[in-house]
Amino acid sequence: MFSSLNLQKMKDSHGFITMLCYAVLIILTQNRALADFYSEAHEINSESEEWEMVQRKGMQFTVNGQPFYVNGFNTYWMMILAADNSTRGKVTQVFQQASAVGMTVGRTWAFNDGQWRALQKSPSVYDEEVFKALDFVVSEARKYKIRLILSLVNNWDAYGGKAQYVKWGNASGLNLTSDDDFFTNPTLRNFYQSHVRTVLNRVNTFTNITYKNDPTIFAWELMNEPRCPSDPSGDKLQSWIQEMAVFVKSLDAKHLVEIGLEGFYGPSAPARTRFNPNPYAAQVGTDFIRNNQALGIDFATVHVYPDSWISPAVSKAFLEFTSSWMQAHVEDAEMYLGMPVLFTEFGVSAHDPGFNTSFRDKMLNTVYKMTLNSTRKGGAGAGSLVWQVFPQGAEFMDDGYAVYLTRAHTASKIISLQSKRLAIFNSLCGWRCKWGCKKKNHTALDALLLHDEF
C-alpha cells in the first residue's frame, strides 16, 4: 500500500529523472531549440511547485526542498500607482511582463511616510485606501507567482524616510538635530516598530491573508540603503539592526529578514575596504560583514551602482568594478557569514554620459554571469534584481534606470535567458544533487547554464 509520502517521492524522482534525460538529450544533439526546453522545464517546475514560504538552508534559498535561485526586479512605486484607479493597471502590467521573462521576485516599498499619497500620514495613522493599494500589489504578485521583498522604511528623503521620522519626533516635543537620530532615539525606534507591527499584522483585503502568513512575501527588508554617517564606527547602526531584526522575528518567525545594505565594508574588515568603490564608502556607518552577523538576519544584500559611486561617465571600469565587487561579497558570504547574498539592486542610468543600450546589456550580462558562476558551484551568490522594470506609460516615474521590457528587446532576451538558466538549475539540482551537482551531471549542467544564445 502506497502512502501519500511514498507517492510524492516517486513523483519527485520521476520528475528529476525526466528533466535530466532532457538535459542529456540536448547536449548530445546540440539542440538549437534550447530556449524551448528551458521554457518547458520552467512550466513543469511551476506546475508542481506548491506556494510555500521561501526558506534558507545554509547558503541557499529553498522552496519545497528545492533550491530557489533568484532572477528578479525592482519597481519601487507600485503601491503609489495602485492607489489611483487610473494608474492601477500599470502594476498589473509590471507583474505580467516580469513573469513573461521568468522573473520570480520583485522588490518594492511598503512605506510612504508623510508624503503625497502617504501610507503612514503620521505615526500609527494610516490611509486605508493606500493600504488597500499595497494589498493589491501583494495580491497581484501572488496571481503571477512572483514573490516580494517588502522594504519598511527609507534611508533617503524620498517617500519620507528617516528624515520624516525625525520631523515627527520634533513635532511631538523632542529636540532632534540629525536625521541619524532615527537610529538612536527611543521614541523614533518605537515609531518604526509600530509601523512594522502594523504592516506585518495587516490582513490583505483582497486575499484575506495576513501579511506575516503570506508566502507571497519573500522577505522583510529593515530599511532601504541604511547609512549613519554621523557614526563611522558603525556602532549606532549595528545596535539598531540588532534590535529591529529580533523585533521583526518576534512578530514573524516564518519570513526571511534582511537589512537592505548597499554592501560597503567598514571598520570590522579593514582589509576588505579596498573593494569599496571610494574612500567615503567606509565612513557611512555601515559594515557589510559585521551588520549581517546580527541575530535574525537571514541573508545579505548588495547594491551595484558604479555610475553613482565611481564616475557618472560610462566606461569599461564599470564592468570591472561590478565583477570584483560581486566576487568579494560572494566570498565573504561563504567565508564569514554562511548565508546567501542577493544583489538586490543593479543598473546603469540612461542619464549617464556615454550611455547606450548595448552597454546596459553588457552590464546585465556581467551581473548575470557573475551570479551564475556562483550558482553552478552551489555558492552563496543567490541571484540578482535589476533596478528597475517599467511598463510603457509609466515614464513619468522613470529615474533613468528603467528597463521597458516590451521595447528593450535585447535586454528582455538576456533577462529571459537568465531566468531559464536558473529555472533549469532549480529543477535539476535538489538536495540529492548536493547543491551544484559538483560530481554527478556537472558537465551537463555546465553546457546548459553556460550556453549563450546571443
Nearest to 42 by CA among 442, 425, 368, 429: 425
Nearest to 203 by CA among 153, 139, 247: 139
Location of C-alpha cell 555601515: 286
Location of C-alpha cell 551581473: 367
Determine whether 334 is an active site residue. Answer: no
Residues ≥6 apart with Cβ < 8 Å to 406: 97, 391, 392, 412
Neighbours of 65 (CB within 10 A): 12
164 within 8 A of 113, measured Cβ to Cβ: yes
Residue tagged active-site, from 140, 221, 262, 345: 345
- Alpha-helical regions (H) of 172-234: 186-200
Determine whether 225 is an active site residue. Answer: yes
Residue tagged active-site, from 140, 221, 225, 262: 225
**What is the CB-side half-sphere exposure of residue 316 using CA atoms within 13 A?**
0
Q: Is 74 exposed, middle or buried (0-12, 13-18, 19+ CB in 10 A)?
A: buried
The cell for 213 is 502568513
Q: Is 384 exposed, middle or buried (0-12, 13-18, 19+ CB in 10 A)?
A: buried
The cell for 250 is 518576534
362 within 8 A of 347, measured Cβ to Cβ: no
List residues with catalytic annotation. 225, 345
